[in-house]
């Protein structure tokens, strides 16, 4: 089976691999790099738990053909911490009980980061809109919305 060479930047580091035809970015990240932070939830763009940033833009890794990210920068939750320190969003999620089973959390955090990177002081409605592609079956969303708002108002010192 013919494989295609692929190189891209993964959380600030260059990675290279060979992918099978049709491999999606989620599989490439999880199975070829071992970054298990993006999750498989639906494979069809319905749940958002596989969300990653490609060149700073929120994308669904399960619907992204892996070879289309050649030469581009891919950010996942695995790159969100600053060394041992949690990102303000991560801390806000923990403090606000914004995770229950934790399975949607990687995608939620990436969607929230995509928002705050562009709009550091979003309104509540903008937060709701920003996470509208991410399904959480446990929390009922309120703690997540509160977490994003508190991370935004909590002086995004590092961002």
Partner 1 sequence: MPVTVKTFTSTSDAAAALSSDRSARYLGGGTLVMRALNEGDISISTVVRASDQAMTRIDATGSRTILGAGVTFARILAERDLAFLHAPARSIGGPAVRNMGTVGGNLFAPVPYGDFTVAMLALDAMVSVQGGLGGREIPIDEFLQSRDRQTGALVLAISFAKPGSADAFRYRKVARIKPKGGAVITLATHLPMNGSRIVGARIALGSMAPTPIRARAAERALEGRSLDTSTINAAAAAAVEGTLPGDNALASAWYRREIVGVHLRRLLSGQE
Partner 2 sequence: MLELRKDIFADERDDNLKEIGKGTQRQDMLGHVTGTSPYFDDHKLQGMLHLKVVRSAHSHARLRRVDTSEAERSQGVRRVIRGSDVPRNLNTLLSLINFGKDDEPSLAVDKVRYKGEPIVAIVADSPREAHEAIAKVKIDYEPLPAVFDVEDALKPGAPVVNEVYPKNTFTYHETYDRQQLRFGDADRALASADHVLEQRYQMSPIEHAPTETNGSIAAPDTNGRYLVYTSTQALFFSVDTCAKILDVPSNTFHFIGGTVGGGFGGKVDTLTEPLCILGAMLTGRPVRYVFGREEEMQYGPPRGAERIYIKDGVMHDGRVVARKVRAYFDSGAYTRLSSYAAVKCAAHLPGPYTIPNVHGDVYCVFTNRTPATAMRGFGVTAMDFAIECQMDKLAHLVGMDPMEFRILNAYRDGDMKAHRREAKNTALIECVQVAAEKAKWPIRDEFKRMSSRKDGGGVRAAVTPTPRETHTPPTTPSQQRTTYDRAPAATREPPPSPPPPPRPAAPSHGATRFSSVFGTRRR
Does 85 bind partner 1 (CB under 8 A)? Our answer is no
Distances (CA, A) of 39 to 11, 122, 127, 134: 17, 26, 22, 12
Angle at which helix 142-153 crosses helix 88-95, to 10 degrees, equals 140
Does 105 bind partner 1 (CB under 8 A)? Our answer is no
3-class DSSP state of 110 = helix
By beta-carbon proximity to partner 2, the closer residue of 36 and 70 is 36
DSSP string for residues in 51-98: EEEETTEEEEGGGSBGGGGTTSEEE-GGGTSBTTBPPHHHHHHHHTT-
Containing 9, the helix (H) or strand (E) segment is: strand 3-10
Q: Contacting partner 1 (CB under 8 A), which of 58, 69, 89, 109? A: 58
Q: Which does 15 bind (CB under 5 to 8 A by kind): partner 1, partner 2, none?
A: none
Does 63 bind partner 2 (CB under 8 A)? Our answer is no
Who's near 155: CB < 8 A, 6+ residues apart? none
Judged by CB under 8 A, the stretch of 30-38, 98-106, 130-138, 149-157 that binds partner 1 is 130-138
Shortest Cβ 108–partner 1 spacing (Å): 11
From the list 133, 121, 106, the residue with the least C-alpha distance to 26 is 106
Does 67 bind partner 1 (CB under 8 A)? Our answer is yes
Residues that bind partner 2 (CB under 8 A): 20, 22, 30-31, 34, 36-44, 46-47, 49, 76-78, 80-81, 86, 90-91, 93-94, 97, 99-106, 109, 135-138
Residues that bind partner 1 (CB under 8 A): 1-2, 4, 20-22, 24, 43-45, 48, 51, 57-60, 62-65, 67-68, 111, 114-115, 128-134
């Amino acid at each position: 089976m013919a494989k295609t060479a692929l190189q891209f930047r993964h959380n600030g580091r260059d990675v290279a691999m060979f992918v099978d035809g049709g491999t999606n970015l989620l599989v490439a990240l999880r199975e070829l790099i071992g970054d298990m932070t993006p999750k498989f939830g639906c494979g069809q763009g319905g749940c958002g738990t596989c969300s990653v940033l490609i060149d700073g833009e929120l994308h669904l890794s399960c619907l992204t053909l892996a070879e289309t990210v050649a030469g581009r920068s891919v950010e996942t939750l695995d790159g969100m911490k600053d060394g041992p320190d949690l990102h303000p969003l991560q801390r806000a999620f923990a403090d606000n009980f914004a995770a229950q089973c934790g399975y949607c959390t990687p995608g939620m955090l990436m969607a929230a980061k995509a928002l705050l990177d562009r709009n550091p002081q979003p309104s509540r409605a903008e937060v709701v809109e920003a996470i509208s592609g991410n399904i959480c079956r446990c929390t009922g969303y309120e703690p997540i919305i509160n977490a994003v708002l508190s991370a935004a108002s909590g002086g995004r010192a590092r961002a």
